[in-house]
Each structure stands twice: as C-alpha cells, then as structure tokens.
Amino acid sequence: MPRLTPAFALALAVAGLASLAACSSSPSGTGTPSQTTTHSTGSAGHSSGSGGSTDSSSLDAHLPASTNVCSMLPAATVAGVTGTAFTKAATQSTPSYELYACNYTSAKFDQLDVSVLGLDAAPGYDNDLQSFTSTGVKPRNLAGIGDKAFYTSIAGAIGQVDVLYGDVLITFSGWTSLSVSQARTLAADVHGKLG
C-alpha cells in the first residue's frame, strides 16, 4: 500500500478546495452561491431565467405570513352563513407551509375547519381527491366555484369540500356539515379577501 506523503496530502487538499470553490461560484464570477444555485429534481426549485435562481418556496409564496383565516371569516360570519351558533374561532396556521386555518366551535360541540393552502395547492387538491377515491369515497364535482372543486358526501352529509383557485386551495372539513351553497358562499368570501 502506498504511503501518503506530505506533498501528496497537500495536493489532495488543494484539489478539494479548488473543486469546492468551483461549485460555489457563479458562472460570471460575480454572484453569490444562493443566486446561482439551481435544483434539478421535481419542483424543488426553478430557474428564474435572469441568471439567478429561486427555490419553490419563493415561487409558490402566494400568501403573506400575516394571512389569518379567522380574521377574514369571523365566527359570526360563519354562523350567519351556516346557521350554526359558532362562538369561537381559533387560528391553527403553519406559515412555513403556507397553510392558514381557523377552527370554529360552538358550545354544542359543533366544529368546522376552514383552511387555506398557498404552497403546492394544486398537488394538494389532487392528493385529497386521490385519498378519498382510494378509500372508496366518491368525491363529487362542485361546479360554479373556483377553477375546480369537489365535495365528499357520507350518508347524505357533506364531509369535506376542496376548492382550488389557481395556486390556492380552500378546504372545509369538520363535524359540522356544509350545504353546497354554504360552501360556495364561504369559499367565495375567503377567496375574495385573499387579494
């Protein structure tokens, strides 16, 4: 086995550093590594076409971190549309996933979740649709709202409603069932306030 000499070790270290420097420099030598990094797998990132690159979180960032579904749709508004005495609205959001939700409850254990997803919303819609289909639930198309929408019906009651507006998904789910017209009204209200 050959012996590692100090000169050979130094040559390996220099070659390694040169390789690392080449990986992190921009093609023109003026950009920073974050400006020139591109991702080659799926939708993890996209080139901006201006010599730089942005990752998917900035391209899909349709909703500001200040998005608050409970403020957009107060409990009194939901109660007025549904006829259910919702008195509490609790924010349940995950801004890093652009998932903003509000959980509405009443003293009689009525419960409704309204969520707005702004990151990978179209795949989220497709995943919800596929999940229901694969478990034997037959989602039904809901015409006249959003780009596309569906609802599930279990024993005659609506279980979940998904409404896709471009890259924003609005979902209604919970113990309190909505009618189709109530879902349309609430979805249009939330979407209209997203700006």
Amino acid 48: pLDDT: 31
3-state SS assignment for residue 194: coil
Residue range 105-149, pLDDT digits in tens: 999 989 999 999 999 999 999 999 999 999 988 999 999 899 999
Helices in 33-110 by DSSP H: which ranges?
Answer: 33-36, 56-59, 69-72, 75-82
At position 165, the amino acid (one-letter code) is: Y
CA distance 57 to 52: 15
pLDDT at 69: 97
CATH architecture of 69-193: 3-Layer(aba) Sandwich (3.40)
Q: What is the pLDDT of residues 6-60, one digit of tens each?
A: 333 333 333 333 333 333 333 333 333 322 222 222 233 322 333 333 333 333 4
Q: Where are the domains of the chain?
A: 6-56, 69-193
* Averaged pLDDT of the chain: 74
Q: Give the pLDDT confidence of 48-92 residue by residue, as tens digits.
A: 333 333 333 333 447 888 999 999 999 999 999 999 999 999 999
